[in-house]
Copies of this chain bind each other. A is one copy, B any other.
Amino acid sequence: MLEEIQKKGSLLSYRKDIHILDCTIRDGGLMNDFRFEDQFVKNVYNACIKAGVDYMEFGYKGSKEVFSEEDFGCWKFTSEEDLRRIVGTNDTKLKISVMADVDRTNFNEDVLPKSESVIDMIRIACYIHQIPSALEMVNNFHEKGYETSVNIMAVSHVTESELNEALEILGQSKVDCIYLVDSFGVYCPEQIRTIAKKYLAIGDKYSKKIGIHAHNNQQLAFANTIEALTLGVSMLDATITSLGRGAGNCPVELLLGFLKNPKYHQRPILKIIEEDIPKLREQGVKWGYDIPYMITAQMNMHPRSALKNINKPDWDKFVEFYDEMTIED
């Protein structure tokens, strides 16, 4: 089956199945505890509409029993009221998504029926051992009328046979889309092609869309995203200027410049980059490729060891950090 996956589309045409999902606020929120000004969120929303972006992800559906409202801005919880304050009834082509973490979402109470919500898609993030819980959420959200995806995180720490089994289970479920997630930014294009073929084989077998969520620890998020799309992956996560956890994500401005569908426009995103992104930097929000993230990725590690130094003078002590990460006790 893997060998049958071939290049789809060409560099001068476009595929109608391709969708961009902007997760600037959701993944970026990990770097400022989700404390974005409403005006910024509105500007990103309007820019996504003008740019032809297909989905915008606003935040997490975090449980208030797990997380305190004092510790986080509203996009950690993403209530219907928060969303409507920004999008009204969202009478646009832009679909709205939120992310729900397994075990951290009070999904029976906090997720309304689709008929009462502006949300279109709910993406379920889980580790591989949480697949049964993820399926319970898929069924719940599916019955409520939502599109769903399951995003298995940290697959670079998972055996091939476990991943094969997980993908089979998801293939047989009601989920609409399965995401290849490079949580640690560890993969190079050759590896992404191999893994994408595995996901795409399941997608072909069970008629599921396949998505990719890349991280930029090795300056490979854009490369890995376009390599995966060339093979048939169709849901592409990206953020404005990579804004996201640690080294951040695939930059949506690069992706918009690459895709050939005339519905996509780069200029509205450049306006945000010029006018709004500098304010975030001034507020002290830090993200994007840097040496400590490169080191954790090359070690196939979560970036948390790098992130713990992000606001300390130790951040720039690259050699010390390298020694810490590579010398075993």
Contacts and interface: CB of A to CB of B under 8 A. Distances in A.
Interface of A: 11, 188-191, 216, 218-224, 226-227, 230, 251, 253-254, 257-258, 266-267, 270-271, 273-274, 278, 291, 294-295, 298, 316-319, 322-323
B257 A191 contact: no
B230 A190 contact: yes
A188 B179 CA distance: 23
Given A318-B270, A319-B267, A294 B257 contact: yes
Contact of A253 (B257, B270, B294): B294
B188 A319 contact: no
Nearest to A220: B223
A257 B298 contact: yes
Contact of A226 (B189, B266, B295): B189
A273 B257 CA distance: 31
Given A253-B291, A278-B316, 7 more contacts: A190-B226, A218-B222, A219-B222, A257-B294, A267-B319, A267-B323, A274-B319
Given A230-B190, A271-B319, A294 B254 contact: yes
A226 B191 CA distance: 12
5 contacts: A218-B254, A218-B257, A219-B221, A220-B223, A257-B295
Given A291-B253, A291-B273, A294-B257, A322 B189 contact: no
A251 B219 contact: yes
A253 B292 CA distance: 12
Contacts of A253: 291, 294
Contacts of A224: 223
Contacts of A317: 274
Nearest to A257: B298
A111 to B, nearest CB: 36
Contact of A258 (B188, B221, B230, B295): B188
Contacts of A230: 190
Contacts of A251: 219
Contacts of A274: 316-319
A271 B323 CA distance: 11
Contact of A322 (B191, B223, B267, B291): B267
A11 B190 contact: yes
A74 to B, nearest CB: 29
Contacts of A267: 319, 322-323
Contacts of A258: 188, 218, 298
